[in-house]
Structure 1
Amino acid sequence: MSDKMRVISFEKILTMITEELKERGSIFGIHQGKFYRNKSGKSIELFGEKLTSPLGPAAGPNSQLTQNIVASYLTGSRFIELKTVQIIDGEDLPVAKPCIRAEDECYNVEWSTELRVPDAYDEYIKAWFLLHVLMKELKLSEERDFMFNMSVGYDLEGIKSPKIDAYIEGMRNASNTAVWKECREVLLNNINSFTNFTKEDLDKISPVVCPSITLSTLHGCPPQEIERISEYLLKEKNLHTFIKMNPTLLGEKFVRDTFDAMGYDYVVLNGHHFVNDLQYSDAIAMLKRLKVVAGKLNLEIGVKLTNTLPVKIDNGELPGEEMYMSGRSLFPLSITLASRLSKDFDGDLQISYSGGADYFNIDKILATGIQPITVATTILKPGGYERITQMAEKVEGELKGGFAGINTELLDKLAKECINDKHHVKDLRTVDSRKLSLELPTYDCATAPCTIGCPINQQIPEYVALVGDKKYDEAFAVIANDNTAPAITGSICNHNCQYKCTRLDYDESVSIRDMKKIAVLNSQDKFIENVKVSEIKSGKKVAVIGAGPAGMATALFLRRNGVDVTVMDRKEKPYGVIEYVIPEFRISSEMIKKDFELVKSHGVEFKFGVNENFNIDELKKAYDYVVLAIGAWKPGSVSLKEGSEKAVNAIQFLETHKAKKGDMNLGKHVCVIGGGDVAMDCARAAKRVAGVETVSIVYRRTKKFMPADREEIQLALADGVLFKELLSPVAIKDGILVCDEMVLGDKDASGRRSPVATGNTVELDADTVIFAVGEKVDSEILEKNAIELDAKGFAKVNNTCETSISNVYVAGDMKKGPATIVKAIADGKTVAKDILAKEGLSNDFEKKVISVDQKTIYSRKGILKDAINSEKEAERCLSCNNICELCVDVCPNRANIMIEVEGDFVSSHQIVHIDGMCNECGNCGIFCPYKGNPYKDKITAFWNEEDFVDSTNKGFLIINKDKGLCKVRTENGEIVDYTIGEENVVSKQMKSVIKSCLEKYSYML
């Protein structure tokens, strides 16, 4: 494919809108339920015009094409900041692709419109007409309640050029332009097809499209040039003018310190921009002079805050050397600059705001007196344009007419508080990527990333929905199908699922683990009471050595499917480390007992207090299968220059702490060496010991690079644990822990920055030092039983966990070292499946199909909402396995569409890519949960042969619609001629997609 966007005629785009609305109740994928109507009657006033919403798209990817602007308006945008035009345009404008990466904070490498300026002009005029039509036809407003604001760059010479001058003049009065006349004629010819839009409405459409302009200059533009351009726009063009300003005005130190404090320390700044860009004092002086000029002309002059921030491309995020940052990380900079400027003008400076605005702060920005507010990054994320509706509805009641000055105290307060606001600091989304290690399917791609991310593939959307409906028994049955330790994992699972949750790209993950715990507390006991023990279906017996999560899982899965199982363990109770080591404040004994009762209830036999010096040959005389599921109890070690013997092992410490209920003598000062979850447990446990005054976690990197779960780190901080970062212990002597001071160097193979010694040392008071550096598996047990080991001392196993000895398996920690509880359960399922298959027994792992209300799921799209600690959390679940369509949501150009098909599909919903509407920005690939890019990997509908030939995408081109003639590039890349209905030429799936497109969606072709 190519990145050429094909201009759509006004008549064609009008047809697309009316047909889609009639057939599907949507326009460019925007559902009618998200069309915005102001119900309060309140408005803001800008340049003498009333707007029923203060919001709109910032000049960028969401205001480049007619359909972008239409989608923005439908969802609540009333201030449309058109994408910037400049003298270099079209094919002469070098834009590297992909050009957008909005995974968290957003980066882009694009500049102005990618169209030729005359084509961009036509797009804007077509949109101008369509908004008037939709306003009346859909009864969104009786009178025009929106305005366009043009944006131009980058220097005075270019702005005065005939091309840009014609553009500006055409926006000031479009009545004599060809596109204006074309749009009027098309609407006149179709006037009888409308219900509410009349010829009188058409005649009232004003040719004055833009009475205002935003000046966007290049980085490094001299202040004298900015002032000259502004005076030109005011005096010569009689336009209300906003001057776009850069966050570099704040100075490099402020920006660097802010990013470091908020967790964006990895952002690499370009120092020369802070030197060469407009300086703050020059900006103040210039604006004061321009306010005088504008006042004499009865025009408004203001600032657009802010431009994106240029930063270095350090990790190949996008092609090139420099990219431009926007989004939530930019908010503290933009709002601080707004605050400083407002103070210097005593609140009398009009600000058009952009820079990290979203649902969580939009009301706070508006409350300061700032208006209008434009957004970009938030609507490039899942939910897309439909996020605007929620924002518009949130602020509707706060609209207060014209600009009346800015409340500088309130704005200053907002600027200070946002530094610690969870919606802006990096910690809210520390996950690098939600991507699954799966290729994007051509068809049937809807999937729940949480389920795939879960090692035991629990049906998470299903049980979350059931908990939300308070159907606890049904929810627990779904959980127990795959999970043999629901109470334990509902309390302390490391929740891999939550790191894949789509909500991370909205706000924060659904609290999946908490929803499981709700089901557990309400239903597990009842479930256990009603368990019917399965009959023994096999004459074979299984011995499981180790009653940890892996052993218990293996046993339960086998026993409930008809196999006789005995579990043996050296301890007197099951669940090993969970029972004996993990502190009670993290998981209660009651919750552990629930899971033991669950396993027992299925008929599993137990032998506790058994000597683990077993002999496999002896075991195999009594048992047909042996599963080794012994935990990692062997202490790890750290080599110090002096005093290693004085340190306490983490597992030993925690086991003693739990057994003695914290009745220990640790002294006043405790240091814990390590950065994992066990280190957090040790530190929090030590804080609860009488006499302990300080507990410090000592780690050679920074907190950001600790392997511990973010939640565990936050809990440790809340308990008052101190974090001593960038320290590497070297000796313990006389109650002192001596550490080398470190700095972070280059990245190592793990992607983390390597700690490098500075040559300085730091001494910490340490009456007790605890090593939490990982436990090991005792491989001697395997060795003495003649099980083949790999180079690391682990058993060599196949993909069913079977060792070199037939019918002998390893699972859990014993397989590859310390693992998570849920991975141990996954091993148990794998082993059980293999044994059942060998015995010719079926298993009961079949998933339960639960129907969902699609209308409810669609209504949740675009709705941001903080996590809720109750069953209501289910309302935040997007049920991605039923409806995904993220690639549809996030495409600014609406180039990915959902179609409904019949045929050999799992789902009737399939994705088709419209080549002519795509510019290869790459945004859909960022948010698609699979490896791959929808704009390359989904079936593509082409509009002309040139684009078909220029592409490698599988897809089709309609040659003759009446005869059903097509040219098709098949899934294997073969190009064939195909006639609708013809057999054995294309796949059944491709055949169904083409047929559906022709019969139901021909307006898109």
Structure 2
Amino acid sequence: MSNKFSPIPAKQLLEIILKELDANGTVFGYPSELFFNPNQGKLPTTIFGQPIATPIGVAAGPHTQLAHNIVVAWLMGARYLELKTIQTLDELEIAKPCIDMQDEGYNCEWSQELKVEESFNEYLKAWVIIHILNHKLQLGTKPNMVFNMSVGYNLEGIKKPNVQWFLDKMNNATDELTRMVAELKAVYPSIANIDIPAKLSDNITLSTMHGCPANEIEDIARYLLTERKLHTLVKLNPTLLGSSELREILNGKLGFKTNVPDIAFEHDLKYPDAIKLINALNSDAKRLNLTFGVKLTNTLESVNNKHVFPSDVDMMYMSGRALHPISINLAKKLQNEFKGELLMSFSAGVDAFNVAKVMGCGFKTVTVSSDLLKPGGYGRLKQYIDNLKDTFGNESISWPTGNQALENLNAYAQQVLDDERYRNTHFREPSIKTNRKLNYFDCIAAPCVDTCATNQEIPSYLHFASEGNYPKALEVILRTNPFPNTTGMVCDHLCQNKCTRINYDNPLQIRDVKRYVAENADIKLNPAEPNGKRVAIIGAGPSGLSCAFYLAINGFKVDVYESKSKAGGMVRYAIPGFRLTDEAIDKDISRIEQLGVSIAFNHKVNREEFSKLKNEYDYVYISAGAQKSAPFQIEGVESEGVFDPLTFLIGVKSGEIKAIGKHVVIIGGGNTAMDAARTAHRLVGSDGKVTIVYRRTINEMPADEGEIKAVMAEGVVIIELAGPEMIIAENGKVKALQCSKMKLEGFDPKGRPKPVKVDGSEFQIECDAVIPAVGQALDIDFVPTDLLKADTRTYKTFMGNIYIGGDALRGAATAIKAIGDGRKAAEQMIANSGLTKIESSIPYKKHSHRELMIKRTERKYGYTHKEPSAELSRTFNLVSETPDRQTITNESSRCLHCDEVCSICTTVCPNMANFDYAVKPVRYQLEKVLVGSDGTQEVQPDHLFEVKQTVQILNIANFCNECGNCSTFCPTEGAPYQDKPKFHLTTKSFKESEDGYMLSVLKDRNVLIFKQKGGIKTLSENRDEYIYKTDHVYARFSKNGFKLVEAKALTPCVRQIQFQHAVEMSVILQGAKRLMGV
């Protein structure tokens, strides 16, 4: 694998662009609907005396390194194009991966990855192709754009021959332009009629290294102004704000843990020096009739502590939303210093929702990078432009300047400090990555579905809910979950933590949609005819009743044995009433009972009866819950005032416990601890206090993040890194809890950070009640514990036709996991009975690929839950309300339908190195050839090869530098740049690589060539057949059905010939042809 760019010729690039544009109305996958058309409304401004059609652009960085990046950015409306910084040292080794944009952005790449001459060639290609596209698309007489050069990093380097050559060529590229126009004339003859200036740029932004002295910065800028006669901006670092104010904003008000070291402030430009520098250079520029200004800001140097970048990289550089308030406040400080008259260009955490505010602050231009490295990519720029038009109108725009702009900036600088969008409110870093393997083909799957314990068909029921078809939505839900009312209120909704919209705006409120559907729809269920099979289920909790539901639907006779007086298990008895109503539970259970499921209440199964059930029923499903609290061994645990957490929750819900004390301490960090804390909060009164003690940090708490936030919102105090050691009693009653401070060192056997006691750090928490909620245990005595084991794929124990699931199998877990186990165990019983599972037929929803790709460029925030009032949080009334119909319609309409289209990797790659292509699904029965020692052949059936999905992915080796960004956002455990077929566009790239594919287009055939470890394989396609060749094998296949026509062993050692790779190449060939317009 190679992490180096290998640029392609201008002619080849233009051919790829024009063929795709003509065939599909797209360029590198971006639909023409996203292109900016100045004929439909301009956002004009001027800079350096040049008119530009919009004031927005892409920042010097990954989006302006290769020609096609710049072209696509321009198509989307970027008209101020800050070219990637070049420097004399142009053969650097850049650490990889080098980009991490999961939330706030970080990178460890800071210079161009091409040689200086290659960078110039990329900029020239982009310059020419943009002029061609402007002509072809009839967007005006000129592209109305500015190429803004960026150079670094010291004066000595800038005066080196290669940088001087670059500056000369950017000023006058007549010879190179003439040659390129001649080369491209064969592809686009009308280029002869286009006026393409030979001067690519007369302006520059100076980027200097961290630690560059003030006098060096001034000398470089003065050189650029006075000797090169370039309009000049100086890029300033955010550290200019000062360590105290910067850290107060970043770590204090915003809550980010980013560690900005002292050295970052010590070696960067200081504020007084910056003011002197700006004043001096401003004077020089005015004298020379040139423009001078500043660019805010560079990225923020910080300690590499994220375990994304290589361990030998000491520093990483922060960007994105966390940088925005810092840089805006630096702009405020500077602009007030210069009374609103300093020319400033801005780039720090700009996005579609703040771009209008930023432009209202008087910035001349605004550029972006981090936001375009997230899903939607360059296509996000359309929303920037739409929002600017909505704010400022079209055509005759008067951008705010002077005092008005300064007033706006002063106000906005305060707003950003208070805006939730810039605060770190996550306990765990948001990510949609799952444990699903990333395969060569067929990688589309919704991460919400992958994560759901019941694998709910979430996009489907959201689709029907968005259309107001609630019965159909309920039908979809019931296919995998018979407890929609219950889980609509208390599901841990891990699906929402994996919603793709996390990387756009905020996750869909999936649980609320389910709740609304369950409350507003009902359907008639039609179970199969009785099949004569009988099943006994032990435990009428979520797992047992889920199993009963799916068995009954499929014609089984089901008898449930429940030890308590009501069904519902721990969900009914232990989950507080302010989270879940009895009515919701009853509605779900009633639906199950209507299928003919019988429940024997107050019926505790013993060993003798269990033995009888085994003999009388075809199957037995053990689903008894974890109804005992795990023992907590600590001195003083027997004191009065120590409550068993489950006894406490059950007692409060039943009305038996009405008081607990005034200061309650909860020990633990799971959902039971959160329920106990919120319940105690309702009992201690307004003058009481509830404290949670946890020996790790909030980030490691196993509880649902929503429940942790709810606890904190209600005023419960969480003491992190505190290890309980002793309950101190007085006269036998709880008086205090003694703890020691903990620190996290290394990891425990389960991979969690390991808490270690800090010696001499003991402290006491005064309290009159302690609830140790540290886990739950099973209460099953009718079968030996060692027999309560099963394969988690089959749920079948070693006791014959005895199945097990829920808490009985996995220990205390969530209701949705128990429900999932019940359904999956039922499916195993159905299959083992030789029956076919009955499923309702759901109309297939189908959106076009284009429609969904356009939708994936727009950010659209959904609603968020209101925190309950202080008064409500002291009662046992339900704290959440079911949203109204319109809210549900709007929310479910935000679904991106990741089960139909993914292609995230294609948009998060700034180089568009991941390419999606359409194929027809195939299903081939492959054959293999056994070769005898005498050369005789025997053809036998081999395995089935299937490609089920219509969209597949190629990785374009020439454009991929293995930055790692596609891995960050891929909803699998994999990385597209590593796991997808790697395709080379040029012979040079192919020869220099250790592996990959290349397409050779000949007159009579297309030949896909594959190289790996020195070996070569080819698949040739002519009109009627495929011909497959390796060093050892020759074979022919029909194009219809990939039927083997002929096979030959080319070396005597071959004894078996299989064709898995040949058939894979036939699919990859389709993508290669699509990419190259063949």
TM category (shorter chain) comes to: over 0.9
> Which residue of 499, 502, 510 corresponds with 2:500?
502
1:912 is the counterpart of 2:954:
yes
For the Cα contact (< 8 Å) 2:1008–2:1065, is it kept in 1?
Answer: no
Q: Identify the residue that residue 22 of structure 1 maps to in structure 2.
A: 22
Give the SS at the match of 1:965: strand
Q: Which amino acid aligns with 2:491?
A: C
Q: Identify the residue that residue 374 of structure 1 maps to in structure 2.
A: 367
For the Cα contact (< 8 Å) 2:999–2:1072, is it kept in 1?
Answer: no
Does the C-alpha gap of structure 1 residues 952 and 576 become closer, same or farther in structure 2, counting only changes over 3 Å? Answer: farther
Shift of 1:575: 1.1
Q: Which amino acid aligns with 2:774?
A: V
**For the residues of structure 2 that align with 1:222 and 1:688, how far apart are their CA atoms?**
60
Shift of 1:942: 2.0
Please give the residue correspondences for 1:342-381 in structure 2 after superposition, counting only pairs within 5 Å.
Answer: 342-381=335-374
Q: Identify the residue that residue 989 of structure 2 maps to in structure 1.
A: 947
Give the SS at the match of 2:835: coil
Deviates further, 73-82 or 390-399: 390-399
Please give the residue correspondences for 1:222-237 in structure 2 after superposition, counting only pairs within 5 Å.
Answer: 222-237=213-228
Q: What per-residue deviation string (whole Å, max 9, x for no partner) do you get for residues 937-978 of structure 1?
A: 2223323445335445453442746433342359x9963233
For the Cα contact (< 8 Å) 1:490–1:517, is it kept in 2?
Answer: yes
> Which residue of 267, 272, 278 corresponds with 1:281?
272
Shift of 1:768: 2.9
Q: Identify the residue that residue 710 of structure 1 maps to in structure 2.
A: 705
Q: Identify the residue that residue 65 of structure 1 maps to in structure 2.
A: 66
For the Cα contact (< 8 Å) 1:902–1:992, is it kept in 2?
Answer: no
Q: Identify the residue that residue 547 of structure 1 maps to in structure 2.
A: 540
Shift of 1:240: 2.0
> Which residue of 781, 785, 788 corresponds with 2:783?
785
Q: What is the Cα-based RMSD across aligned positions, in Å? A: 2.7
Please give the residue correspondences for 1:825-974 in structure 2 after superposition, counting only pairs within 5 Å.
Answer: 825-844=819-838, 848=842, 850-854=844-848, 855-868=850-863, 869-904=887-922, 905-958=947-1000, 960=1002, 962-969=1004-1011
**For the residues of structure 2 that align with 1:276 and 1:840, how far apart are their CA atoms?**
74
**For the residues of structure 1 that align with 2:667 and 2:229, how far apart are their CA atoms?**
67
Give the SS at the match of 1:717: helix
Q: Identify the residue that residue 445 of structure 1 maps to in structure 2.
A: 443
Q: Identify the residue that residue 128 of structure 1 maps to in structure 2.
A: 127
Q: Which amino acid aligns with 2:727?
A: A
Q: Identify the residue that residue 755 of structure 2 maps to in structure 1.
A: 754
**For the residues of structure 2 that align with 1:355 and 1:97, how far apart are their CA atoms?**
23
Q: What per-residue deviation string (whole Å, max 9, x for no partner) do you get for residues 724-778 of structure 1?
A: 3343333344564334352544343334363643634444442333222222213
Q: What per-residue deviation string (whole Å, max 9, x for no partner) do you get for residues 668-690 of structure 1?
A: 33332222222222222233337
Does the C-alpha gap of structure 1 residues 998 and 449 become closer, same or farther in structure 2, counting only changes over 3 Å? Answer: closer
Q: Identify the residue that residue 281 of structure 2 maps to in structure 1.
A: 290
**For the residues of structure 1 that align with 2:279 and 2:499, how far apart are their CA atoms?**
49
For the Cα contact (< 8 Å) 1:726–1:755, is it kept in 2?
Answer: no
Give the SS at the match of 1:532: coil
Please give the residue correspondences for 1:455-604 in structure 2 after superposition, counting only pairs within 5 Å.
Answer: 455-523=453-521, 526-527=522-523, 530-538=524-532, 540-604=533-597
Shift of 1:113: 1.6
Q: Identify the residue that residue 812 of structure 2 maps to in structure 1.
A: 818
Q: Identify the residue that residue 727 of structure 2 maps to in structure 1.
A: 731
**For the residues of structure 1 that align with 2:778 and 2:493, how far apart are their CA atoms?**
24
**For the residues of structure 2 that align with 1:76 and 1:728, how far apart are their CA atoms?**
56
Shift of 1:583: 1.4
Q: Identify the residue that residue 118 of structure 2 maps to in structure 1.
A: 119
Give the SS at the match of 1:562: coil
Does the C-alpha gap of structure 1 residues 741 and 340 become closer, same or farther in structure 2, counting only changes over 3 Å? Answer: farther
Does the C-alpha gap of structure 1 residues 805 and 460 become closer, same or farther in structure 2, counting only changes over 3 Å? Answer: same
**For the residues of structure 2 that align with 1:132 and 1:867, how far apart are their CA atoms?**
40
Q: Identity over the aligned pairs, expressed in percent?
A: 36
Shift of 1:612: 4.1
1:12 is the counterpart of 2:12:
yes
For the Cα contact (< 8 Å) 1:775–1:818, is it kept in 2?
Answer: yes
Does the C-alpha gap of structure 1 residues 67 and 548 become closer, same or farther in structure 2, counting only changes over 3 Å? Answer: same
For the Cα contact (< 8 Å) 2:538–2:623, is it kept in 1?
Answer: yes
For the Cα contact (< 8 Å) 2:723–2:742, is it kept in 1?
Answer: no
For the Cα contact (< 8 Å) 1:240–1:301, is it kept in 2?
Answer: yes
Q: Identify the residue that residue 647 of structure 1 maps to in structure 2.
A: 642
Shift of 1:882: 1.1
**For the residues of structure 2 that align with 1:676 and 1:364, how far apart are their CA atoms?**
42
User: What TM-score comes out, normalization by structure 2 length?
Assistant: 0.86
Q: What per-residue deviation string (whole Å, max 9, x for no partner) do you get for residues 445-473 of structure 1?
A: 11111111112211111111111111111
Q: What per-residue deviation string (whole Å, max 9, x for no partner) do you get for residues 192-214 of structure 1?
A: 55xxx882xx22x3333222211
Deviates further, 947-956 or 508-517: 947-956
For the Cα contact (< 8 Å) 1:915–1:943, is it kept in 2?
Answer: yes
Q: Identify the residue that residue 666 of structure 1 maps to in structure 2.
A: 660
Q: What per-residue deviation string (whole Å, max 9, x for no partner) do you get for residues 550-599 of structure 1?
A: 11111111111111111111111111221111112211111111110121
Q: Identify the residue that residue 173 of structure 1 maps to in structure 2.
A: 172
Q: Which amino acid aligns with 2:18?
A: T
Q: Identify the residue that residue 34 of structure 1 maps to in structure 2.
A: 34
Deviates further, 60-69 or 961-970: 961-970
Q: What per-residue deviation string (whole Å, max 9, x for no partner) do you get for residues 483-525 of structure 1?
A: 12111111111112222222122122222212212221221xx
Shift of 1:26: 0.3
Does the C-alpha gap of structure 1 residues 754 and 368 become closer, same or farther in structure 2, counting only changes over 3 Å? Answer: farther
**For the residues of structure 1 that align with 2:427 and 2:377, how far apart are their CA atoms?**
19
Q: Identify the residue that residue 1054 of structure 2 maps to in structure 1.
A: none
Give the SS at the match of 1:879: coil
Does the C-alpha gap of structure 1 residues 489 and 952 become closer, same or farther in structure 2, counting only changes over 3 Å? Answer: farther
Deviates further, 919-928 or 467-476: 919-928
Shift of 1:894: 1.6
Equivalenced residue count is: 980
Give the SS at the match of 2:771: strand
**For the residues of structure 2 that align with 1:171 and 1:520, how far apart are their CA atoms?**
64
Does the C-alpha gap of structure 1 residues 744 and 415 become closer, same or farther in structure 2, counting only changes over 3 Å? Answer: farther
> Which residue of 969, 977, 980 corresponds with 2:1018?
977
- Structure 2 gap segments, 5+ residues each: 864-886, 923-946, 1027-1036, 1038-1043, 1045-1058
Q: What per-residue deviation string (whole Å, max 9, x for no partner) do you get for residues 888-930 of structure 1?
A: 1112112221222235131222212222222222222222222
**For the residues of structure 1 that align with 2:512 and 2:954, how far apart are their CA atoms?**
37
For the Cα contact (< 8 Å) 1:916–1:943, is it kept in 2?
Answer: yes
Shift of 1:21: 0.6
Q: Which amino acid aligns with 1:77?
A: A
Please give the residue correspondences for 1:306-345 in structure 2 after superposition, counting only pairs within 5 Å.
Answer: 306-319=297-310, 320-321=312-313, 322-345=315-338
For the Cα contact (< 8 Å) 1:348–1:405, is it kept in 2?
Answer: yes
- Structure 1 gap segments, 5+ residues each: none
Deviates further, 482-491 or 150-159: 482-491
For the Cα contact (< 8 Å) 1:936–1:953, is it kept in 2?
Answer: no
Shift of 1:831: 1.7
Q: What per-residue deviation string (whole Å, max 9, x for no partner) do you get for residues 392-451 of structure 1?
A: 211134455567247445434434443453322232583454222232111121111111
For the Cα contact (< 8 Å) 1:627–1:808, is it kept in 2?
Answer: yes
Does the C-alpha gap of structure 1 residues 637 and 291 become closer, same or farther in structure 2, counting only changes over 3 Å? Answer: farther
**For the residues of structure 2 that align with 1:758 and 1:410, how far apart are their CA atoms?**
53
Give the SS at the match of 1:387: helix
Q: Identify the residue that residue 427 of structure 1 maps to in structure 2.
A: 425
**For the residues of structure 1 that align with 2:708 and 2:228, how far apart are their CA atoms?**
58
Q: Identify the residue that residue 680 of structure 2 maps to in structure 1.
A: 686
Shift of 1:933: 2.4
1:299 is the counterpart of 2:290:
yes
**For the residues of structure 2 that align with 1:83 and 1:347, how far apart are their CA atoms?**
29
**For the residues of structure 2 that align with 1:502 and 1:146, how far apart are their CA atoms?**
34
Q: Which amino acid aligns with 2:34?
A: K
